[in-house]
Structure 1
Amino acid sequence: MTDPTAQPLYQRDPAAWRAHLAEGNARQARKRVGVDALIRDHHGRVLLVDPTYKPNWDMPGGMAEANEPPIDALQRELAEELGLQLPEGMALVCLDWVAPHGPWDDSLMLIFDAGTLTAQQTAALHLADTELGAFEFCTPQQAQQRLRSYVWARLHAAIAAADTGRTAYLHNGNPLRA
Structure 2
Amino acid sequence: MRPTTHTPTPADPEAWNAYLAEGNAAQARKRVAADVLLRDPAGRVLLVNPTYKPGWDLPGGMAEENEPPERTVARELGEELALEVTLRGLLVVDWVAPHGPWDDQIAFIFDGGMVTSAQAAELRPQDAELSEIAFVTQNEARNRLRHRIGRRFDAAMRALDSGRPLYLRDGVPLV
Q: TM-score, length-normalised on structure 2?
A: 0.92
8 Å CA contact 2:8–2:19 kept in 1: the answer is no
**Letter aligned with residue 97 of structure 2:** A
**Letter aligned with residue 62 of structure 1:** G
**Offset at residue 63 of structure 1 (A):** 0.3
CA distance in 1, matches of 2:52, 2:18: 41
In the TM superposition, what are the counterparts of 1:91-110 in structure 2 within 5 Å?
Answer: 91-110=89-108
Q: Which residue of 1 aligns with 2:130?
A: 132
User: Match for 1:150 among 148, 151, 154?
Assistant: 148
Note closer, same or farther for the CA distance 1:63–1:11 as it changes in structure 2 (3 Å cut): closer
**Letter aligned with residue 172 of structure 1:** D
In the TM superposition, what are the counterparts of 1:1-178 in structure 2 within 5 Å?
Answer: 9-87=8-86, 89-176=87-174, 178=175
Q: TM-score, length-normalised on structure 1?
A: 0.91
CA distance in 2, matches of 1:11, 1:138: 55
Structure 2: segments with no counterpart, 5+ residues: 1-6
**Offset at residue 11 of structure 1 (A):** 3.6
Moved over 6 A (4+): none
Q: Which residue of 2 aligns with 1:4?
A: none
**Letter aligned with residue 52 of structure 1:** T
SS in 2 for 1:35: strand
- Number of equivalent positions: 169
SS in 1 for 2:74: helix
Q: Which residue of 1 aligns with 2:4?
A: none
8 Å CA contact 2:55–2:145 kept in 1: the answer is yes
Deviations 1:31-69 (A, max 9, x none): 000010000111111100111111100110000000111
Deviations 1:50-104 (A, max 9, x none): 11111100110000000111111110100111111112x4311100000011110
CA distance in 2, matches of 1:141, 1:153: 13
**Letter aligned with residue 25 of structure 1:** N
RMSD, matched Cα? 1.2
